Amino acid sequence: MRRQFISHAISAAALLALGALSARAADNAAVQEKAAVCSGCHGENGISQTENIPSLAGQPDQFLQWQLVFFRAGSRKNEQMQPIAEAIANEDVRSLGAYFAAMTPPKPAEDKDPDLSKKGAQVAEGRRCASCHTDSFAGTKAVARLAGQREEYLVKALHDYKAGQRVGGGVAAMADVAYRMSDEEITAVAHYLAYFK
């Protein structure tokens, strides 16, 4: 596990060293062409309309790059995403990260269950989610944006961490958090975050 993490850290350092190129790359037509494949599942403008597929728009650049590296290395498992990530070159990991990070994040619809959101807010407070995900839940660096993400995907992600099915970089941050959460807490906090404005 540790070795795997170190090799990820090395590839990420290499990615970041070349990151300066990514802003320019994001503008060019080549990345748009590559991102068209992604839209088929992740939605137009990076906003997913499909169950259990996350929106990518407005995720932190580093978070996106890391997840692609994790899928590619097989440390994050998913039948649909792994083959796609395996075909993405380092250069494109950077340009796709910059491309989706620059997009406008999803705008939540009207919250139809504010009572559930209230419970979710208490969970987020008690579990100190904002201490890593930031007060606006927009995420930062390798920490994911949660605000406006699809509700059922947030539920799935938290269950995946809780069950040890999603390990990511081998950093136990989310496994530690999710392991302690009840199913009721997961349901409530996912609702709160999906509608967070």
* Interacting residue ranges for ligand HEC, rule: CB under 6 A: 34, 37-38, 40-42, 52-54, 56, 64, 66-68, 78, 80-81, 84, 88, 96, 124, 127-129, 131-133, 142-144, 146, 149, 154, 156-158, 166, 168-169, 173-174, 177, 189
Q: What is the CA radius of gyration of the chain?
A: 16
- The residues near 51 (Cβ < 8 Å, ≥ 6 apart) are 150, 152, 153
The two three-digit tokens of residue 123, written as one number:
């969970």
The two three-digit tokens of residue 46, written as one number:
């990076």
- Whichever of 138 and 146 has its CB closer to ligand HEC, that residue is 146
Locate tokens 């540790």: which residue?
Answer: 2
Please say whether the dihedral angle defined by the alpha carbons of residues 9, 159, 87 and 19, taken in this order, is positive or negative.
Answer: negative
The CB-of-129 to ligand HEC minimum distance in angstroms stands at: 3
99 vs 96: CA distance, rounded Å: 5
The CB-of-154 to ligand HEC minimum distance in angstroms stands at: 5
The CB-of-109 to ligand HEC minimum distance in angstroms stands at: 19
65 vs 100: CA distance, rounded Å: 10
- Whichever of 98 and 174 has its CB closer to ligand HEC, that residue is 174
- Whichever of 23 and 87 has its CB closer to ligand HEC, that residue is 87
The CB-of-163 to ligand HEC minimum distance in angstroms stands at: 12
